[in-house]
Amino acid sequence: MAIFGTGNLTALMPREISDEMVTKTQSLSTIAQLSGQRPQRFGKQDIIVFNSFPKAEFVEEGADKASTTGGFQYVTATPHKAQVTMRFNQEVLWADEDYQLGVLSELSEKASEALSRALDLGMFHAINPLTGAKIAAWTDNITTTTLSVDLAGKTAEADAAFRAAAGLLVNAADPVQVTGAALDPKFTWALSELKRKDGAGETSDMRYPQLGFGTNITDFMGVPVAVGNTVSGTPESADTKVRAVVGDFRDGIRWGVQRELPMEVIMFGDPDGQGDLKRKNQIALRVEIVYGWYAFKERFAVVKEKS
């Protein structure tokens, strides 16, 4: 049974407890950092897509005007509901009331982080974060794009792979503007390790000294970037080997929050099929959100590590 127990907390009572918690940090949604959400009503949303740009015509004085060619179609952004339900021993409430730990507030914040990561895991990989399994019914996730670059072996240069991925988009028959890139920490570390070369070979000078250890990068080669391990799907799932997602984060995806439900403290009943809360001396904390999204996967290219 998945219970977040109080652990040694009860053993400390009624001694004084520190008024802060130590929590494990995790990266948030790279999609949310690179692409602003669009307002959405609840339910499926139809998005109009022009098949081609309309073309203007110069008309001489007195000449007939021709009809502009082209057309449009639509795609549908589908709602996806995500939730976090956490069970706790009821003694957590004592700590929250008696020692002002703000336990519920902290846990609500962590649940919100999990929902933020769910956006990436769903839109990039169609992964259910809780189980780590692929959701077979979801087919428009970004990393199913046919545009892919292999990063093979330890001698492979990450910047060359990044440039090649961008090239697949820029040089496509229908060119795509690269407006952002989501990078896995393993990829930014590989970038930070690259050495400058001269006529005699590799030097001891770092090729990109401004990258440091590859953390907190917001720009690379003039492209806005966001760093997060949701790119590789870890740790919620097995490593997908995706190291970078490059593409049009401005117009290549449409996403928004259709409903954001407030934190709910559940005191009674069996909200998750693990037994009656009162009987087990437990409470549950639940946070829910409904995303709506559609990804134009042909506007993205991925860099994948090849074993």
Percent of the chain whose predicted confidence (pLDDT) is above 70: 82
How far is residue 238 from each of residues 123, 127, 223, 235, 241, measured CA to CA in Å? 16, 10, 28, 7, 9
pLDDT in tens, 183-209: 999 999 999 999 998 877 788 899 999
pLDDT in tens, 18-65: 444 455 556 789 999 999 877 677 777 766 666 667 778 888 888 888
Mean pLDDT of the chain: 84
CATH numbers and ranges of domains, the chain: 25-51+73-196+207-306 (3.90.1690)
For residue 15, is pLDDT > 60?
no
| pLDDT for res 126 | 95
The structure's pTM equals 0.82
H/E stretch holding 33 reads helix 30-34
Token reading at 287: 């946070």
Percent of the chain whose predicted confidence (pLDDT) is above 90: 45
72-89 and 3-4 strand pairing: parallel
Give the mean pLDDT of 92-100: 64
| pLDDT for res 21 | 45
Higher pLDDT, 261 or 4: 261
| pLDDT for res 101 | 56
Considering 51-55, 75-79, 287-291, the range whose residues carry the highest mean pLDDT is 287-291
